[in-house]
């Protein structure tokens, strides 16, 4: 009997050890039953102040989860400017994403002090900013991380010049499939990018062709006009030039016509391995919405800390001690 009990305990421990197995949709049912409506209200208020809230919050969630898992380590502010958010790849994260989480956390703390993690608030907010996009239930129970270092970011985020193999490799490290990667790239249906992230496609693509031949020629001319050489580095261009303020599947329709802003966008169509999925999402918004919702739930499970790992931060921008 003792051996059997030991095996049962071992199996239970193995299941708990998986981390992601412990996230559940109703985690705060008794400790903070209104958490989702509180966060939704805070997100709505912020969204009404500025549209940047949408891409800023989505990008914040993505960048957080890909470095040490979804643990709100991206939120930490360091007096020495050496936290995760200070890494070169994160400097361009818009302040409105951070502010969304901070405001939501303050509202949640008033109702349920010390109960809800910043990591969970960010996960809920990332779902709620996609107004008009796919809705889905968010799994909860994450704890906040205790480490936030700029040095840990390098090599863990996709780069704008990545090809399909490089994209698939970095997503697979986070247990995300090619289909998930293509669906999550659809977040580029809203938001913008700095000229410096794609200007090489206009002026120095290759020795034989300064302009990337996969770029739609009319679109390339628009980009050159908006982003001349030596332009102010803060100049930005919409990732989706057709419906830049709407979360929809037009991003994929743009890829089909050669209007992907970043190399890592356009390659999803030019590479024959991923092209059928892009065509499907371009033609069937329901397929995209379903894949995006499923991929967001999978993204939210990446490297989560649960149980006694980490902490429940009182202030999202600082460790408790």
At residue 13, does pLDDT exceed 50? no
At residue 103, does pLDDT exceed 50? yes
Q: Are the C-beta atoms of residues 47 and 54 closer than 8 Å to each other?
A: yes
% of the chain with per-residue pLDDT over 90:
89
| 194 annotated active-site | no
Check the annotation: does 240 bind a ligand.
yes
pTM: 0.92
Q: Are the C-beta atoms of residues 303 and 19 closer than 8 Å to each other?
A: yes
Residue with tokens 């421990």: 13
Interstrand relation of 236-238 and 192-194 (parallel, antiparallel or unpaired): antiparallel
Check the annotation: does 277 bind a ligand.
no
At residue 18, does pLDDT exceed 80? no
pLDDT in tens, 280-310: 999 999 999 999 999 999 999 999 999 999 9
What are the angstrom distances between the C-alpha of 156 and each of 170, 175, 262?
7, 13, 18
319 DSSP 8-state letter: -
Q: Are the C-beta atoms of residues 181 and 165 closer than 8 Å to each other?
A: no
143 DSSP 8-state letter: B
Check the annotation: does 189 bind a ligand.
yes
pLDDT in tens, 138-154: 999 999 999 999 999 99
Q: Pick from 285, 257, 258: which is nearest to 183 by CA?
A: 285
Check the annotation: does 120 bind a ligand.
no
Supply the pLDDT for residue 9: 47
Supply the pLDDT for residue 5: 52
Alpha helix (H) residue ranges in the chain: 2-17, 35-49, 53-66, 95-111, 118-128, 164-172, 178-185, 200-203, 217-226, 250-256, 263-270, 275-283, 285-299
Distance CA 14, CA 12 (A): 5
* Mean model confidence pLDDT for the chain: 93
Q: Are the C-beta atoms of residues 299 and 65 closer than 8 Å to each other?
A: yes
Check the annotation: does 248 bind a ligand.
yes
Exposure of 63 in the CB half-sphere (CA atoms within 13 A): 28
Check the annotation: does 69 bind a ligand.
yes
Check the annotation: does 276 bind a ligand.
no
Encoded tokens for 259: 């209007």
pLDDT in tens, 28-85: 999 999 999 999 999 999 999 998 999 999 999 999 999 999 999 999 999 999 999 9
Distance CA 243, CA 166 (A): 28
C-alpha dihedral (197, 201, 204, 207), degrees to nearest 10: 140
Supply the pLDDT for residue 3: 53
Distance CA 248, CA 239 (A): 13
The CB density around residue 260, as the number of other CB atoms within 10 Å, is: 30
At residue 6, does pLDDT exceed 80? no
Supply the pLDDT for residue 208: 95
Supply the pLDDT for residue 131: 78
Exposure of 49 in the CB half-sphere (CA atoms within 13 A): 12
% of the chain with per-residue pLDDT over 70:
93
Q: Of residues 19, 23, 46, 63, which has the active-site annotation?
A: 63
Encoded tokens for 269: 């169509």
Beta bridge partners of 305: 143
Residue with tokens 């209200």: 41
Supply the pLDDT for residue 30: 97
At residue 16, does pLDDT exceed 50? no
Supply the pLDDT for residue 72: 98
At residue 106, does pLDDT exceed 60? yes
Beta bridge partners of 238: 192
């Amino acid at each position: 009997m003792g051996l059997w009990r030991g095996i049962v305990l071992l199996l239970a421990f193995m299941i708990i050890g998986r981390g992601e197995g412990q996230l559940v949709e109703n985690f705060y049912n008794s400790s903070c039953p209104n958490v989702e409506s509180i966060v939704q209200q805070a997100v709505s208020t912020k969204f009404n102040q500025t549209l940047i809230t949408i891409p800023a919050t989505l990008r914040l969630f993505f960048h957080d989860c890909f470095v040490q898992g979804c643990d709100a380590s991206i939120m930490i502010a360091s007096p020495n400017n050496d936290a995760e958010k200070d890494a070169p790849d994160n400097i361009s994260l818009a302040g409105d994403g951070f502010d969304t989480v901070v405001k939501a956390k303050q509202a949640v703390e008033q109702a349920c002090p010390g109960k809800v993690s910043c990591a969970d608030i960010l996960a809920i907010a990332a779902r709620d900013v996609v107004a008009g996009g796919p809705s889905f239930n968010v799994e909860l129970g994450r704890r906040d991380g205790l480490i936030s270092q700029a040095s840990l970011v390098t090599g863990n985020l996709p780069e704008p010049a990545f090809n399909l193999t490089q994209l698939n490799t970095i997503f697979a490290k986070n247990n995300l499939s090619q289909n998930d990667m293509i669906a999550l790239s659809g977040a580029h249906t809203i938001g913008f990018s700095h000229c410096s992230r794609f200007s090489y496609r206009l002026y120095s693509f290759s020795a034989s062709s300064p302009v990337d031949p996969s770029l739609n020629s009319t679109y390339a001319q628009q980009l050159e006009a908006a982003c001349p050489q030596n332009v102010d580095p803060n100049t930005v261009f919409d990732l989706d030039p057709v419906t830049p303020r709407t979360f929809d599947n037009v991003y994929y329709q743009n890829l089909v016509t050669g209007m992907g802003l970043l190399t890592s966008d356009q390659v999803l169509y030019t590479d024959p391995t991923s092209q059928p999925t892009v065509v499907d999402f371009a033609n069937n918004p329901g397929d995209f919405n379903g894949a995006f919702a499923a991929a967001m739930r999978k993204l939210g499970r990446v490297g989560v800390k649960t149980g006694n790992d980490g902490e429940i931060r009182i202030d999202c921008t600082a460790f408790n001690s």
